[in-house]
Amino acid sequence: MNYDVIVIGGGPSGLMAAIGAAEGGAKVLLLDKGDKLGRKLAISGGGRCNVTNRLPVDEIVKHIPGNGRFLYSAFSVFNNEDIIRFFEKLGVQLKEEDHGRMFPVSDKAQSVVDALLRRLQELRVHIRVNTPVKTVEYENGQTSAVILQNGEVLPTKHVVIAVGGKSVPHTGSTGDGYAWAEKAGHTITELFPTEVPITSNEPFIRDRILQGLALRGAALSVVDPKGKIVKTHMMDMLFTHFGISGPAALRCSQYVIKTMKKFKTNTVHVRIDALPAQKEEPLFQEIVKQIKDEPKKGLKNVLKGYAPERYLLFLLEKNDIDASQAAGQTANDKIRAFVQDLKGFTFTVNGTQPLEKAFVTGGGVSVKEIHPKEMASKLMKGLYFCGEILDIHGYTGGYNITAALVTGRIAGTTAAQNV
Ligand SMILES: Cc1cc2nc3c(=O)[nH]c(=O)nc-3n(C[C@H](O)[C@H](O)[C@H](O)COP(=O)(O)OP(=O)(O)OC[C@H]3O[C@@H](n4cnc5c(N)ncnc54)[C@H](O)[C@@H]3O)c2cc1C
């Protein structure tokens, strides 16, 4: 049987593309090399699937530092609010959590996957799992067929490539699509891990002094070798046995990589402001006054509440201050140095965990070669791209699945319109 549209990849972008194409009246085949569809989707958001985000579109774009602006045209056709309505129509109620993050009320990512699969069934989309695609064929500037790994040739004039990036390859995202895009003449911008924990070889990390400690609402900055702040993110962060993780660290990770590359160095500095709401000098004065008011009180107790105890003790020890001494015995210059660290503890990091461990792949098919309102290739007729294979990457917070669903929807509908 010949299909109008073949979608390769059953992640959020491919599932949505297949639905969009079938709703547009096309005869659709969806191929995936895994035994199940939506494997990454099913483990996303810690198994709860942060399916989209409710912030206004301008904010969504700001939270997609990798070519978010390219999505403006797409969002004018199908956006985050449309995603919410789409899932509610499929019977998946969503709820809003902090920072606009939307999750299924069931707290189960599988309910999102199942709803998409039910819709595919209703639309009679043909699905073949355990079917790895080898390549896409082109003839005279037109997409002509999909070739399977087993040699089978599936002729078609419209192919949606939705095979994802290279992160977490056990879910099936092994970067197979880049070669097919290059074969059609597309440029693949350099791939790099984003939304990935940052690594450090500092003795306090190696010795696991702060392992497991979370700092809530800290401001984490990446600092370039000239001492200039490259980027700051104010969110929670976590010390681990290899470095730092948590939302602030994940968001800063791409700037660590970019800064190291720009300055051709193997290390870069990060700075933690544990109390971003307070300015340094008033904070210092406030602590000095408290010490003056209660000089006999233990220093540790005076400082209680400014930061988690483990962090306070770490910074006091770093500054050679005995935490158990009476507060009044502490010299002002020591307190000043301690406050400076509370506001800007700076240490060296040496990169990030690898692409395979990243939540998202940075880089991919250059968006300059894609029609932004159609997700169609500017170079090859009948070829469409969507999802993480594109050079689009967002922060964690539902932005990547949003980008995948929106670009998938548009790729599928355009393909059907062009049949
Ligand atoms: C642990 C984790 C949690 C995440 N949580 C969130 C979250 O809560 N919110 C959010 O917005 N983003 C999250 N992300 C990111 C998000 O899941 C991805 O950006 C998104 O899944 C990308 O969708 P995609 O459709 O482009 O590709 P993928 O989901 O990677 O799907 C690609 C599909 O293509 C198939 N495929 C690959 N090669 C072939 C081939 N040769 N032949 C046939 N099929 C092939 C694969 O088997 C796979 O099913 C998370 C990522 C990870 C790793």
Q: Report the 10 Å Cβ neighbour count for 62.
A: 15
Residues 178-224: tens digit of each pLDDT: 999 999 999 999 999 999 999 999 999 999 999 999 999 999 999 99
Residues 353-400: tens digit of each pLDDT: 999 999 999 999 999 999 999 999 999 999 999 999 999 999 999 999
Half-sphere exposure of 412 (CA within 13 A, CB side): 34
Residues 237-275: tens digit of each pLDDT: 999 999 999 999 999 999 999 999 999 999 999 999 999
Q: Report the 10 Å Cβ neighbour count for 381.
A: 16
Say which residues have a Cβ less than 8 Å from residue 186's Cβ, sequence separation at least 6: 365, 366, 369, 377, 379, 380
CA of 311 to the centre of ligand 1 (A): 37
Q: What is the CA radius of gyration of the chain?
A: 25
**Nearest residue to 175 via CA among 183, 185, 164, 160:** 164
Instruction: Give the Å distances, CA to CA, from 224 to 228, 247, 248, 395.
Output: 5, 21, 17, 21
The predicted pLDDT at position 190 comes to 97
Q: How confident is the model at residue 311 (pLDDT cuts 50, 70, 90)?
A: very high
Chain mean position to CA 158: 29
Ligand 1 binding pocket (C-beta < 6 A) is: 8-14, 31-34, 39-41, 43-45, 49-50, 132-133, 162-164, 167-168, 172-174, 176, 359-360, 387-388, 398-401, 404
Say which residues have a Cβ less than 8 Å from residue 10's Cβ, sequence separation at least 6: 18, 30, 31, 32, 34, 37, 38, 127, 129, 162
Q: Rounded to 10 degrees, what is the CA torsion of 351, 356, 360, 366?
A: 90
**DSSP states of 265-293 as a string?**
-S-EEEEEES-TTS-HHHHHHHHHHHHHH
Contact 361, 193 (CB under 8 A): yes
Question: Rounded to whole angstroms, how far apart are CA atoms 100 and 93?
Answer: 15
Say which residues have a Cβ less than 8 Å from residue 207's Cβ, sequence separation at least 6: none
CA of 154 to the centre of ligand 1 (A): 24
Interval 146-157 mean pLDDT: 98
Report which residue type is found at 48.
R
Residues 51-106: tens digit of each pLDDT: 999 999 999 999 999 999 999 999 999 999 999 999 999 999 999 999 999 999 99
Report which residue type is found at 119.
R
The predicted pLDDT at position 394 comes to 97
Instruction: Give the Å distances, CA to CA, from 138 to 177, 380, 391.
Output: 14, 8, 22
pTM above 0.85, yes or no: yes
Residue of 19, 154, 163, 168 with the most ligand 1 atoms within 8 Å of its CB, for mutation = 163
Instruction: Give the Å distances, CA to CA, from 110 to 36, 74, 85, 333.
Output: 12, 26, 18, 56
CATH numbers and ranges of domains, the chain: 5-191+357-418 (3.50.50.60), 197-353 (no CATH)
Question: Rounded to whole angstroms, how far apart are CA atoms 17 and 13?
Answer: 6
CA of 168 to the centre of ligand 1 (A): 8
Question: Rounded to whole angstroms, how far apart are CA atoms 393 and 207?
Answer: 34
Residues 11-63: tens digit of each pLDDT: 999 999 999 999 999 999 999 999 999 999 999 999 999 999 999 999 999 99
Instruction: Give the Å distances, CA to CA, from 233 to 230, 255, 272, 401.
Output: 10, 11, 10, 21
Residue of 64, 128, 370, 400 with the most ligand 1 atoms within 8 Å of its CB, for mutation = 400
The predicted pLDDT at position 294 comes to 94
Closest residue (by CA) to atom 2 of ligand 1? 44
Q: Please report the atom of ligand 1 found closest to the CA of residue 50.
A: 8
- C-alpha angle 261/182/15, rounded to 5°? 95
Interval 135-145 mean pLDDT: 98
Half-sphere exposure of 191 (CA within 13 A, CB side): 20
Say which residues have a Cβ less than 8 Å from residue 50's Cβ, sequence separation at least 6: 44, 101, 102, 103, 396, 397, 398, 401
Place of tokens 């569809």: 37
DSSP 165: -
Q: Report the 10 Å Cβ neighbour count for 371.
A: 14
Taking 90 as the threshold, does the pLDDT of residue 108 lie above it? yes
Within 93-162, residue ranges assigned H as helices are 109-122
Interval 109-115 mean pLDDT: 98
The predicted pLDDT at position 1 comes to 76
Q: What sign results for the dihedral spanned by CA atoms 32, 33, 37, 42?
A: negative
